[in-house]
Amino acid sequence: MSEPPLAILREARKLRASDTDGFIFPGMKGALSNRALLMALRRMGRGDLTAHGFRSTFRDWAAETTDY
């Protein structure tokens, strides 16, 4: 990973509640729900997209470009 994203992760680590909370970025109650992502897309005027599309795209990218 290049230095700019590593610097962001180092700063984000300082904001975490603990090193064992399991999340990179702090949130109110953990992971976002499907509904929260859907509503964010609608507010951005992108009702043509779905949260599933994000997960699917990330999964394809991860499978094609990493060993994870």
Q: What is the pLDDT of residues 1-52, one digit of tens each?
A: 889 988 988 888 777 666 655 667 666 666 667 788 888 889 999 989 887 7
Report pLDDT for 45.
94
- The helix/strand/coil state of 64 is helix
Domain boundaries along the sequence of the chain: 1-31, 32-68
Report pLDDT for 28.
60
C-alpha span between 27 and 60 (Å, rounded): 26
Report pLDDT for 64.
93
Query: Who's near 59: CB < 8 A, 6+ residues apart?
Result: none
Interhelix angle 34-43/51-65, rounded to 10 degrees, is 100
| Position with higher pLDDT, 35 vs 55 | 35
